[in-house]
Amino acid sequence: MTRKVVRRGLNLGLALFLAALAAPSARAQGMFYQEVQKDGRIYVFALAPEYESWSKSGEMGKATTRLGYGPSGETVVFDSEDAINYYNFKHDKPGEVFKKPVAAPRPADNFSVKLGGTIFTDFTYQDAPKIADADRNQVNKSEFEMRRAYLNVTGTINDFIAFRITPDVASRQATAASGLPAGGKVSSNLDGSLTIRLKYAYGQFNLDKVVSHGSWIRIGQQQTPYIDYLESLYRYRFQGTIFVDREGYLSSSDVGLSARLAFPNDYGDVHLGFYNGDTYSKAEANDQKAFQIRATLRPAPKQVTLKGLRVAAFYDRDAPVKGGSRDRFVVAPTFEHKYLNLGFEYLDAKDRASGLAGTGEVKSNGWSLWATPRSKVGLEGLLRYDSLKPNKSLDAKKTRTLIGAAYWFKVQKAPLAAAVLADYEQVKYDALLAKPEEKRLELKLLLNF
């Protein structure tokens, strides 16, 4: 912008008080201008309150001082930028354009709340065993069911504190009828309804700026170290839980205090905690607590072929009562690739229900192998085989075979997910376990948002 253009603009803005400038002071159209010579200086005011304050105290507030700027080389003190331009116009000096100060950026508001959800729903046809209906007919049970309905409320209060609240569909409600006389019944109009219970509710203290990114401390009802980890790799929780969860050896949630330390450069992590040990579905009954720890090593996170390789080891030291035992050890190598996810679990468990003399300890072990070959177009297979020996002292096993095909719909980004799965599940029991063979055909749907 040229000086000529600037000056024309100033002429237009100051036209209303040109005549008034010839006087020592003026008030016109709500504008103010005053020059005062004092002690060899010239004081210039465009703000009446500033002039009145200076007249009483002799002190300027915020001011701009220019040495040698006066007609005879006097120092000129201005109370504002407007005063500078008024002075320039009166004394035939070029107008000036002042840049507005850039406001300092406001601190980021790190409070946020997000709402998400998870839905598992399916149709199941039970080929074996058959069941008896109300007329005692032998039929193949079939049902549409809602297996899971989460509402996830997550958020951050600031950079340091986060939280999660997740209510969950538990099961169909049935009223207990203990203590009634023979033939007595009790019921509720809620019987058969899906019951909602709390799955997760915890506060999290982020340690990203203290140790390493992804490290934290949690307190409340939260994920246990192993199941949450493996289910992030085995994406078929909507078909059924992983081996140690499905057989009742571990729970996905419990109440306690835990911490996670992430290794730098994505080499793995350690997650450990103290929990009630009675899972999120039961209240604590005594003084016993569970200590759980999982350590995961990712040996080559930057190597193209081997970056998907992980090895996890998990240990759970617990007791139902003093002197009892509820110990679990699990080792789980896994491999991720764009065309194949592969995993193996080995479980070794010890259980003693009581600390009283004569109570025996039950030892069990088992393993699970699963693979999910996938294509570029969303089609994916599910192959899984579980083998469990519930009691090592008995030569009897329970096995599960799963074969399925899934289609994963394209989504914009995680955590959005949508998939449909058709599968066949067969569960066999050796004769000593005295249970009938199970066969199921299932159609299952996953929606996550």
Residue 129 lies in a domain: yes
Q: Which domain holds residue 153?
A: 112-173+192-448
Instruction: Report the CATH number at residue 391.
Output: 2.40.160.10
Are residues 31 and 122 part of one domain? no
Are residues 263 and 127 part of one domain? yes
- In order along its 449 residues, the chain shows pLDDT tens digits of 444 444 544 444 444 344 344 444 444 345 799 999 988 899 999 999 999 888 888 888 889 999 889 998 889 999 999 989 989 988 988 888 888 777 767 666 689 999 999 999 999 999 999 999 999 999 999 999 999 999 999 999 999 999 999 999 877 777 765 555 655 566 677 777 888 899 999 999 999 999 999 999 999 999 999 999 999 999 999 999 999 999 999 999 999 999 999 999 999 999 999 999 999 988 998 999 999 999 999 999 999 989 999 999 999 999 999 999 999 999 999 999 999 999 999 999 999 999 898 889 999 999 999 999 999 999 999 999 999 999 999 999 999 999 999 999 999 888 899 999 999 999 999 999 999 999 999 999 999 99
Residue 264 lies in a domain: yes
Number of domains in the chain: 2
Residue 427 lies in a domain: yes
Are residues 200 and 316 part of one domain? yes
Residue 322 lies in a domain: yes
From 90, 122, 137, give the residue that closes a domain.
90
Are residues 152 and 69 part of one domain? no
Are residues 254 and 156 part of one domain? yes
The pTM of this model reads 0.75
Are residues 380 and 282 part of one domain? yes
Are residues 412 and 283 part of one domain? yes
CA 6 to chain centre: 56
Residue 433 lies in a domain: yes
Q: CB–CB of 114/416 below 8 Å?
A: no
